Structure formats: structure tokens, C-alpha cells
Amino acid sequence: MIKNKGNILIIDDSNTNVVLVEAILNSKGYNTITAMSVKEALPIIDDEHPKLILLDLLMPQVSGYQFLEDLKKDNRTRNIPVIIVSAVSGKESKTKTRDLGAIDYIEKPINIKVLIQKVEAILN
């Protein structure tokens, strides 16, 4: 039996990406919670207290950038590590998200090995 290693919140508006990341992390013993939008994610963060958030940048209504900035300004959520998982590539985006408080950045398409290494490095 695999021991639960903690809640990871996946925020992505692409169902395909959510299903992929969820399957990878669940197979490694992590409990995943998913949200298809920032609006959907807010009550989940309050209820589930995730140990890590995987955040897409290109989201409907509220962008991942804005959400990350809001998370890091809030005393209740500022210490939750955030890894950006996005199709947006380039140094500018990586620098901006790091400046806003993201701990790491993974470009899509997702390299499964890299995802697992980065998650385990943060949570172990």
C-alpha cells in the first residue's frame, strides 16, 4: 500500500493535462485535488490545505500570474510552494513567475520524470 504523501492541488483548465498530472502523481502516492479555474481553486485551498500547488498560467477569467501574486500576498497561503506548469515558454515568463513567488517552472508538454523530480524535491 502506498502511503499518502500529502495533497497537491492541480489548477489547469485543460482536462487532458489534469488527468495526466493526476495519474502520474497518484501513482507516486500523492493525493491530488483538481480545479479547472482559479475561482474553483480558492475554496479548495481553504478546505484542503495543499502542500503544493501546480498552476497553469493561461487560465480563464483570472490568469495564473494574477492568482500567484494574490496567493503570495495572503498570509494564509503565502508559504504554499507553487510550481508553474505552462505552455508559456521563455525567460521572461519564468523570471516573472519567480519574482511573483513561484518556486519552479515546468514547460508543457510535461516531462514526467522532471515533474516527479521537482515535486519530490519540494515535498521530501
pLDDT by position in tens, the chain (length 124): 455 677 999 999 999 999 999 999 999 999 999 999 999 999 999 999 999 999 999 998 999 999 999 999 999 999 999 999 999 988 999 999 999 999 999 999 999 999 999 999 999 8
Query: Fold for domain 7-113?
Result: Rossmann fold (3.40.50)
Quick check: 38 and 11 in contact, CB under 8 A?
A: yes
Sequence ranges of the domains in the chain: 7-113
pTM: 0.95
Angle at 42 between CA 39 and CA 48, to 5 degrees: 140
Spatial separation of the C-alpha atoms in residues 14 and 56, rounded to whole Å: 9
Partner residues linked to 32 by β-bridges: 8
Residue 5: the pLDDT is 72
